[in-house]
């Protein structure tokens, strides 16, 4: 490797350091525009098959990734923390120009893995999953705001439903955010209003039950806000917004599953007890193409559950996971293991991951804590999925349980 380009990426622009035979022969900055990228293309054309190295900076480096991919250039996105360790020195001089130089020199001194281009569907699934994750956060936040305002206008309504975010619950809350909207109505009239104005089809029996409960709650309710106060408008607003958010979340969920079903690993993932269609789609969205990794340890590092060890003299710290990888994937695998245990409790379908969890929890005089055992199961689950996908095999409990026993 004689020619390479070190690039320091920032918002909307990048600084470039061009190297030939370990010597910096050119430096400049360019904006992430067609003109700027054309300038970079001219530089690449003047060199002998150069490799581009730049730090992964989230959304800011994506335009550069796309341009490099479209041009079919060899490039590497560097882990910011790894790059920091490989470029730190005693002199603390930092600016965009020196950073680009350091990236180029680090490429000469270290071996970095080249970027592996995945099929576009994996990128689509990743964006859909991130969108889905944000929708869940928005729903929880709006649910909290609805609870806060509903406690001031008609708190008894929350006792009417097992879940405040069900469509039926939100319809009724939007119709009757204050007990004064219910008072004066008879059972039949209230029942008919519920059946007419809720988008979920209600039977007469269920509508009558809800109407009677509403009337009982309204009679004894003593809210903090009056019927005309702004809190009533707030309740209706949050109920309306929550309905739209839930509808959008369901739409994204369907898109996720429909896209993932086109991939061969989807069937393999869903063959594992406790991994449903949505979970499988989200795992593929976060991890991407499993086959681009050489082994399961690389996936562990990618999501941040590889162990961090520290020893100095006779002192040895307790091992912890690094948490330097993809937090979305890490949280997803954590929930997947928990869901496997829940499904096993309901169905008793054998699962060697669940077996391993309970062995750790009961092992010897010092059983593992729940979180420690769950992380260990995450590691084992990733190994299992990696082998299954690499070998194109669906889940076989006897096979994997037998390997555990060996």
Could you give the CA distance from residue 173 to residue 402 in angstroms, rounded to a whole number?
54
- pLDDT beneath 70: ranges in the chain: 1, 81-97, 162-164, 199-200, 306-324, 401-406
Indicate whether this model's pTM tops 0.85.
no
| Residue 166: per-residue pLDDT | 82
Long-range CB contact pairs, 229-232, < 8 A, 24+: 229/153, 231/149, 231/152, 231/153, 232/153, 232/177, 232/178
Q: Which residues pair with residue 337 across a beta bridge?
A: none
217-229 per-position pLDDT tens digit: 999 899 999 999 9
Domains in the chain (CATH in brackets) are 3-109 (3.30.420.10), 123-257 (1.10.287.4070), 264-405 (no CATH)
**Residue 149 is encoded by which pair of tokens?**
């305002």
Query: Nearest CA to 244 among 127, 131, 142, 130?
Result: 142
Could you give the CA distance from residue 38 to residue 40 in angstroms, rounded to a whole number?
5
312-339 per-position pLDDT tens digit: 455 444 445 555 678 899 999 999 999 9
| Residue 239: per-residue pLDDT | 94
| Residue 28: per-residue pLDDT | 95
As a residue count, the chain comes to 406
**Residue 317 is encoded by which pair of tokens?**
């710290």
3-class SS at 94? Answer: coil
């Amino acid at each position: 490797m004689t020619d390479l380009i070190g690039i320091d990426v920032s918002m909307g622009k990048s600084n470039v350091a061009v190297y030939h035979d370990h010597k910096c022969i050119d430096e400049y900055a360019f904006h992430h525009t067609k003109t700027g990228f054309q300038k970079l293309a001219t530089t690449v054309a003047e060199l002998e098959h150069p490799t581009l190295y730049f730090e992964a900076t989230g959304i800011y480096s994506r335009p550069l990734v796309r341009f490099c991919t479209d041009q079919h250039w060899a490039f590497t996105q560097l882990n910011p923390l790894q790059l920091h360790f490989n470029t730190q020195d005693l002199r603390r001089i930092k600016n965009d120009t020196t950073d680009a130089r350091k990236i180029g020199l680090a490429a000469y001194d270290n071996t970095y893995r080249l970027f592996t281009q995945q099929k576009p569907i994996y990128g689509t699934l990743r964006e859909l999953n991130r969108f889905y994750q944000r929708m869940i956060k928005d729903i929880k936040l709006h649910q909290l705001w609805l609870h806060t305002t509903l406690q001031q206008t008609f708190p008894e309504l929350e006792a009417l439903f097992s879940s405040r975010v069900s469509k039926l619950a939100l319809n009724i809350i939007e119709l009757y955010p204050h007990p004064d909207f219910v008072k004066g109505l008879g059972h039949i009239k209230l029942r008919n209003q519920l059946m007419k104005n809720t988008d979920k089809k209600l039977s007469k029996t269920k509508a009558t039950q809800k109407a009677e409960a509403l009337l009982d709650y309204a009679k004894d309710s003593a809210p903090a806000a009056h019927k005309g106060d702004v809190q009533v408008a707030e309740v209706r607003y949050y109920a309306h917004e929550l309905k739209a958010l839930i509808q959008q979340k369901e739409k994204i969920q369907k898109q996720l599953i429909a896209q993932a079903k086109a991939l061969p690993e989807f069937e393999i993932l869903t063959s594992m007890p406790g991994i449903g269609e949505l979970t499988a789609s989200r795992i593929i969205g976060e991890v991407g193409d499993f086959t681009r990794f050489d082994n399961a340890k690389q996936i562990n590092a990618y999501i941040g559950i590889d162990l961090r060890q520290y020893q100095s003299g006779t002192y040895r710290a307790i091992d912890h996971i690094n948490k330097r990888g993809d937090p979305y994937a890490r949280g997803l695998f954590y929930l997947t293991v928990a869901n496997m245990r829940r499904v096993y409790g309901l169905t008793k379908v054998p699962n060697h991951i669940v077996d391993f969890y309970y062995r750790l929890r009961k092992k010897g005089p010092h059983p593992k804590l729940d979180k420690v055992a769950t992380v260990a199961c995450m590691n084992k689950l990733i190994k299992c999925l990696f082998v299954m996908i690499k070998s194109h095999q669906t889940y076989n409990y006897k096979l994997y349980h037998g390997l555990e026993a060996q």
